[in-house]
Chain A
Amino acid sequence: SQKIEQNSEALNIQEGKTATLTCNYTNYSPAYLQWYRQDPGRGPVFLLLIRENEKEKRKERLKVTFDTTLKQSLFHITASQPADSATYLCALGNTGFQKLVFGTGTRLLVSP
């Protein structure tokens, strides 16, 4: 069955550094991959979508890559700030009316 893996351990980095989060998947060939941010006590918030034929997508300080050969997506936050501290979820899905499947998320902690 399809499996999505995100680092279960929190990622601790210093302010100003680049944070890199990983999303790996197996037994799956998704057409779309989305990244969400979730703060404690709140619902997830959409950040970026990347398609299978796109290698990279950027939005302000965020960058997402999608390597369908490695079955991996990397999510980068450059010049990280304490306000970036949150849990980041990746989600994958196919074309048509197929639902998104979410990973378990990685918690990011940015220290001043």
Chain B
Amino acid sequence: GAGVSQSPSNKVTEKGKDVELRCDPISGHTALYWYRQSLGQGLEFLIYFQGNSAPDKSGLPSDRFSAERTGGSVSTLTIQRTQQEDSAVYLCASSFSGGAYYEQYFGPGTRLTVT
């Protein structure tokens, strides 16, 4: 079956512009996660959705970052007024349900470069 998909795969943007990153989770998965991974670094948690609600958004680095999920499916991560330090790979994952018992299925990521 189809896995988690993300678009675009690569995004180059100028400093100060807004960007939107999209995640299509596996059908039927109620939990959706966004992570950020800088070169050679570990996964940095950003936000977690259970259905359309976000019980944990503690990882969003600033108010320039926001995310929403609609219809219990697609999620969009928006970064406003991008800065060079936002350059990273943004990974999305989904799981059957929220919580640490369920394995997460990751998408291929969106590589964001802010020039």
CB 8 Å contact bits of B78-109 with A (1 = contact, 0 = none): 00000000000001010000111101111111
B55 within 8 A of partner (CB): yes
| Secondary structure class of chain A's binding surface, majority of residues | loop
In the assembled complex, the CB of A24 is this many whole angstroms from the nearest CB of chain B, namely 15
- In whole angstroms, what is the CA distance A72 to B18 when docked? 42
Question: Given that A43-B91, A104-B42 are known contacts, is A96 also in contact with B106, CB under 8 Å in the complex?
Answer: no
CB of B98 within 8 A of CB of A97, answer yes
Contacts of B105 in A (CB 8 A): 46
CB 8 Å contact bits of A2-37 with B (1 = contact, 0 = none): 000000000000000000000000000011101010
CB of B41 within 8 A of CB of A104, answer yes
Contacts of B42 in A (CB 8 A): 89, 102-105
Total A-B Cβ pairs within 8 A: 64
Contacts of A79 in B (CB 8 A): none
Question: Given that A95-B99, A104-B42 are known contacts, is A44 also in contact with B106, CB under 8 Å in the complex?
Answer: yes
CB of A97 within 8 A of CB of B50, answer yes
CB of B103 within 8 A of CB of A43, answer no
Contacts of B109 in A (CB 8 A): 42-43
CB 8 Å contact bits of B9-50 with A (1 = contact, 0 = none): 000000000000000000000000101000001110100101
Q: A34-B103, A49-B103, A103-B42 provided; 10 other pairs, C-beta below 8 A?
A: A42-B108, A43-B107, A44-B91, A46-B105, A89-B43, A92-B100, A93-B100, A97-B98, A99-B45, A104-B41
